Structures are given as structure tokens and as C-alpha cells.
Amino acid sequence: MTSMDARGAESAGPTVTGIVLAAGGGTRLGLGPKALLPYRGRPLVEAIAGRLLDGGCREVVVVLGAGAADVEAAARLDHCRVLTNVEWQSGMGSSFLLGNQAAAPQDHLLVALVDQPGLTSETVERLLDRHRPGRITAAAYRRRDGPGEGGDAELQRGHPLLIDVTLREAVCATVKGDAGARGFLRAHPELVDEVDCSDQSTGEDVDTPDQLGLLR
């Protein structure tokens, strides 16, 4: 049996639902919800959702929280399913669980953070292409600010994460607070495949004012 992905191509096996975690209030940054950070003339959440669709996700679920009404008014997200996490202050985990609940039960999950402007559709496509059944596929990036810079720099696991459909229930059982899938990843490193995406971006999040340059 074949199915159609977001690019209109036939693909065998499960399809992928992208989840954009965009509920945080951006407290450390101090500029309001990160979903509304200006990025190339539009709210950042638009770019992230679009790159998940362009990279091959069948559907994208955007989970909002802080300032949800303002985000929906400012951002064009009519090509996505938009949910509001009323418990967003409890941490990222509740948004992850809400997105998982909304995703089609037969789909893998591709989980992305709204504050990672360097995410490209090529990164998403690479993760989908490299994914192996029954495993988690994670984007990884080489550190550029320490010993071993260049080709020998250490890979650091980051986002997005592609969670196999067969692991969704097990991952969700470990999710709590602001940790997301971190607990499962630490407990089962043998199930995680890291894919080097350093040629696409640094994988950095916009967490502090000194990282605002990532939005250029």
C-alpha cells in the first residue's frame, strides 16, 4: 500500500505528522511568545510550520499556548491544525502530549521547536529519508565553539526528532514537565539514530538576547 506525502509523491508505509511546539511564553528572552518573533517579515512560527510541510510531513500540528490568540491573529497557519494548550505553563511536555493526541494514530511524529530558525526543509527531508522502522531519528549538529572545531567536532543531538509510530506510546509514558521526550532518549540510547545536519544550521535555539542574530 502507498500513500501521498506533503510533496505529492508516493511513499510506502506510515506517513508523518509534524508537531511544532510553540506554546512557551519566552520568559528568558523577554520579548513575548517566541512564535511571534519576526523572521524575514513574518512570525517565526509560520516559517517553522512551512518547513515541516515542505520537508515531507503529511500534516503539521501547531501547539500554541502563551498569547495564542495574538499568534493566531498574526500568523498565517491555515495550512496547519492549530491547537491551544491551556496548561502551557506546566512545561513543554503537555504540549508534546497534546500534539501526539491530535496526530493520526498511524503516523510517525516529527517534533520541532518554534525557536529554531535555522531549521530547513532539507533537514526535515533528510530525517525522513534516513529513518529506520522502530527507531527515533534525531538531527545532530557539530559544536563550533569548542575543542575539535570543524569536521572532528563533537555531534550534539538536537531537534527535530522523528519518533517512530511504534514508539509513540512508550515515549508519551515518560513525558513530564518541560523534559519532552528527553527521559525516553536517555533511557534508550540504543534506539536513537543521530543524523548530522551541521551543513544546514547550527541547531541553536533562540533562548537569550545574544541569540537574536539567528533570526537574520
Task: Give residue-wise pLDDT tens across range 17-67.
Answer: 999 999 998 777 767 789 999 999 999 999 999 999 999 999 999 999 999
d(C-alpha 86, C-alpha 69), whole Å: 12
DSSP string over 80-144: SEEEE-TTGGG-HHHHHHHHHHHS-TTSEEEEEETT-TT--HHHHHHHHHH--TTSEEEEEEE-S
Task: Give residue-wise pLDDT tens across range 168-213.
Answer: 999 999 998 888 899 999 999 999 999 999 999 999 988 888 888 7
pTM of this prediction? 0.89
Q: Which domains does the chain have, with CATH numbers?
A: 2-200 (3.90.550.10)
